[in-house]
């Protein structure tokens, strides 16, 4: 029986391996992690991450050919193929701080693999890493290899949180990069055979190692660039009276452009886009390509601009002050159908409103209060590092923020509502009831264009929707970006 082990039981390692175990019943898959609480949760009824359909997959295979364990070394020792899916956050200190990927966790996993292995193994980079990381990892592994052969493959993951199970069942492509020699090709073939259990072979793309590593960074940069492009358009739409949804539709029907990823919003978030673009920028700079670096920097700058623009619009619309006013925040996760808050635009918007002394009442269907409090009080880039290394900011702001368990409680007596995540349930809220319970004038700032603005205006709300023609009220309260 082929044995697979995955180091890192996170948003990628957990779902990826669960689907692999489901689709390959004759392969034993173990997912290991140094975090005991995380592994305990994977072994319980309340999984550590929320993903539609994931509970069902895990229930079908756990204890059969899918195992979650903290016994990292034993499972690595016993495996033929070792996936490494540990976190690769942005460096917070030292050379490349704020840009370069921190490979501490990857390096320590590689050293451990070298230490405990007694048989040849294929080591698969699942984490998103800088170009040529495989070369460095190869050096670590072969330096301590005691004659054991290690083959390194790059197999970046393209799943999107919120649709991870669907994406894993039916991926647009699986990318495998390997060395061009005979041993490398054999390793690529072995991994290809695993995916071929459920992925049509024409969707399995094989490249050299560096192309595979760079393709992942490039794909995320292109996706984020589309969002920043449409968001830049949304600012112009508001200034001119155009409607960004109509513009995006007209643009997206061009088959050369395509309709996806053209929704204007308060900005992109998530653990990957910003981190991977920063990493790409750093790689460009290290390779003496400042113009290429500056091009990608702009994608992040527009994203920051969009978040600031939104928060400023909230403040300026409400008579240029939110001091002491209750503002309801509907949605905190970086997108719907996930509880993940890493780099969510809600953090920046909330911090900006808190700085202006607003009283926030936050509701998200999946994010726990503890997480929200941590996010609002943690220094930037710290979220992806172990708790012991995280620096918590001053806690003076605590009183200004409350986290509640439903949208009606959040909005009661509020002056304004900010919709920051596109959860489906926000579309069907009873806005008449909400209007009655709010202070007047009652504002809705829709950062995801999910509410029915026409209906809300009929009820009496003053509504701001990203990239849409402005209410006369908002026009007369010009916002400074
Ligand atoms: P995560 O932070 O959810 O999970 C990483 C896990 O690795 C943590 O549970 C941590 O305890 C564990 N870990 C760290 N060092 C370890 C070690 N030495 N031994 C055992 N366990 C260790 O991270 P996530 O989101 O799963 O991301 C993993 C990688 O996949 C990152 O490189 C990320 O950029 C990439 N990626 C993430 C996607 C996403 O949607 N979250 C999508 C595609 C790629």
Distance between CA 231 and CA 225 in Å, rounded?
Answer: 10
C-beta 14 within 6 A of ligand 1: no
Q: What DSSP designation does 101 have?
A: B
> What Cα–Cα distance (Å) separates residue 387 from each residue in 374, 383, 392?
10, 8, 10
For ligand 1, whether the C-beta of 381 sits within 6 Å is no
DSSP SS3 for 150: strand
pLDDT at 382 over 80: no
d(C-alpha 93, C-alpha 100), whole Å: 10
Ligand 1 close to Cβ of residue 340 (< 6 A): no
Residue 477: pLDDT band with limits 50, 70, 90: confident
Burial (CB count <10 Å: 0-12, 13-18, 19+), residue 421: buried
CB distance 159 to 130 below 8 Å: no
Structure tokens at 339: 């509880």
Predicted confidence (pLDDT) per residue in 143-177, tens digit: 866 789 999 999 999 999 999 999 999 999 999 99
Atom of ligand 1 nearest to the CA of 101: 32
Per-residue b or e along 32-53, where b marks 16 or more CB atoms closer than 10 Å to that residue's CB: bbbbeebbebbeeeebbbbbeb
CB of 116 sitting under 6 A from ligand 1? no
* Residue 377 pLDDT level (bands cut at 50, 70, 90): confident
Confidence (pLDDT) at 344: 97
pLDDT in tens, 64-117: 999 999 999 999 999 999 999 999 999 988 999 999 999 999 999 999 999 999
CA distances from 230 to 262, 309, 336 (A): 6, 14, 19
DSSP character at residue 53: T
Q: Output the average pLDDT for the chain.
A: 94
Q: Ligand 1 in contact with 128 (CB < 6 A)?
A: yes
Helix, coil or strand: residue 394: coil
- Say whether pLDDT at 285 is over 90: yes
184 Cα distance to chain centroid: 31
Query: What percent of the chain has pLDDT above 90?
Result: 87
Region 325-349: mean pLDDT is 97
9-13, 137-141, 201-205 — which is least confidently predicted? 137-141
Query: Distance from the CA of 105 to the center of ligand 1, in angstroms?
Result: 9
284 is catalytic: no
User: Which range has the worst mean pLDDT, 73-82, 291-300, 386-395?
Assistant: 386-395
Mutate to test the pocket of ligand 1, among 69, 86, 127, 161 (most ligand atoms within 8 A of CB): 86
CA-nearest residue for atom 43, ligand 1, is: 157
| Mean pLDDT, range 303-309, rounded to an integer | 98
pLDDT value, residue 246: 98
Report the pLDDT value the prediction gives residue 53, as an integer from 0 to 100. 97
Residue 313 annotated as binding site: no
Local confidence band at 394 (pLDDT 50, 70, 90 cut-offs)? low
- Between 477 and 394, the more confident residue is 477
Q: Residue 206 in contact with residue 176, Cβ under 8 Å? A: yes
| Ligand 1 centroid – CA 86 distance (Å) | 4
pLDDT at 372 exceeding the cut of 90: yes
* pLDDT > 90? residue 29: yes
Mark 360-378 as b/e (b = at least 16 C-beta within 10 Å). bbbbbbbbeeebbbbbbbb
Task: Note the pLDDT tens digit of each residue in 35-56.
Answer: 999 999 999 999 999 999 999 9
Checking if the pLDDT of 393 tops 80, the result is no
Tokens of 18: 């669960």
Give the pLDDT mean for 251-268.
97
Could you tell me the distance, in angstroms and rounded to a whole number, from the CA of residue 10 to the centre of ligand 1?
5
CB environment 81-91: b (16+ within 10 A), e (fewer): bbbbbbbbbbb
CA angle 299, 381, 214 (to 5 degrees): 50
The residue whose CA has the least distance to atom 34 of ligand 1 is 128
Q: What is the pLDDT of residue 386?
A: 59
For residue 306, give every residue at least 6 positions away whose Cβ sits within 8 Å of its Cβ, in sequence order, or none: 228, 231, 234, 235, 265, 266, 267, 345
| pLDDT in the model for residue 235 | 97
pLDDT at 385 over 80: no
* pTM given for the model: 0.94
**Kind of pairing, strands 150-154 and 462-465?**
unpaired
Q: Which of 272, 284, 350, 418 is catalytic?
A: 272
Which pLDDT belongs to residue 397? 62
Domains of the chain are 3-199 (3.40.50.720), 221-465 (3.40.50.720)
Residue 146 Cα to chain centre, angstroms: 39
Higher-pLDDT residue of 474, 6: 6
Residue 474 contacts residue 464 (beta carbons within 8 Å): yes
| Of 298, 296, 323, 319, nearest in space to 400 by CA | 323
Provide the pLDDT confidence category of residue 478 given band limits of 50, 70 and 90.
Answer: low
Q: Which of 348, 340, 335, 337 is nearest to 309 (CA)?
A: 348
97 HSE (CA, 13 A, CB side): 6
């Amino acid at each position: 029986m082929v044995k697979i082990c995955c180091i890192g039981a996170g948003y990628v390692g957990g779902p990826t391996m669960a689907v692999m175990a489901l689709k390959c019943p004759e392969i034993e898959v173990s997912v290991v992690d140094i975090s005991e609480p995380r592994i305990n949760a994977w072994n319980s009824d309340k999984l550590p991450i929320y993903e539609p359909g994931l509970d069902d997959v895990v229930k079908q295979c756990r204890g059969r050919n899918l195992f979650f364990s903290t016994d990292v070394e034993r499972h690595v020792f016993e495996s033929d193929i070792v996936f490494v899916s540990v976190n690769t956050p942005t460096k917070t200190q030292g050379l490349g701080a704020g840009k370069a990927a921190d490979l501490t966790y990857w390096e320590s996993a590689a050293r451990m693999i070298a230490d405990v292995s007694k048989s040849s193994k294929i080591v698969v980079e699942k984490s998103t890493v800088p170009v040529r990381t495989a070369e460095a990892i190869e050096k670590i592994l072969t330096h301590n290899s005691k004659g054991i052969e290690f083959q390194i493959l790059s197999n970046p993951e393209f799943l999107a949180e919120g649709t991870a199970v669907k994406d894993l069942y039916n991926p647009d492509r699986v990318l495998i990069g390997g060395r061009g020699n005979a041993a490398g090709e054999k390793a690529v073939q072995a991994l290809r055979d695993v995916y071929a259990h459920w992925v049509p072979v024409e969707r399995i793309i094989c490249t050299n190692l560096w192309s595979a590593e760079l393709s992942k960074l490039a794909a995320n940069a292109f996706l984020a660039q589309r969002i920043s492009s449409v968001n830049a358009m949304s600012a112009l739409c508001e200034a001119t009276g155009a409607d960004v949804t109509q513009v995006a539709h007209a643009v997206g029907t061009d088959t050369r452009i395509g309709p996806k990823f053209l929704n204007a919003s308060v900005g992109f978030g998530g653990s990957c886009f910003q981190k991977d673009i920063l990493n790409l920028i750093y790689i460009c700079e290290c390779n003496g390509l400042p113009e290429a670096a500056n091009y990608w920097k702009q994608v992040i700058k527009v994203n920051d601009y969009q978040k600031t623009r939104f928060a400023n619009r909230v403040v300026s619309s409400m008579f240029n002050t939110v001091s002491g006013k209750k503002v309801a925040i509907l949605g905190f996760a970086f997108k719907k159908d996930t509880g993940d808050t890493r780099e969510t635009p809600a953090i920046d918007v909330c911090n900006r409103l808190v700085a202006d002394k607003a009283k926030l009442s936050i509701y998200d269907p999946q994010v726990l209060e503890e997480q929200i409090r941590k996010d609002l009080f943690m220094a930037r880039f710290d979220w992806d590092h172990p708790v012991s290394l995280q620096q918590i900011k001053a806690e003076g702001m605590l009183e200004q923020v409350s986290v509640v368990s439903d949208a009606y409680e959040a909005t009661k007596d509020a002056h304004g509502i900010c919709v920051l995540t596109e959860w489906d349930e926000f579309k069907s809220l009873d806005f008449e009831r909400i209007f009655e319970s709010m202070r007047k004038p009652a504002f809705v700032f829709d950062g995801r264009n999910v509410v029915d603005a026409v209906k809300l205006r009929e009820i009496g709300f003053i509504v701001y929707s990203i990239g849409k023609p402005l209410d006369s009220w908002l026009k007369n309260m010009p916002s400074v970006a």
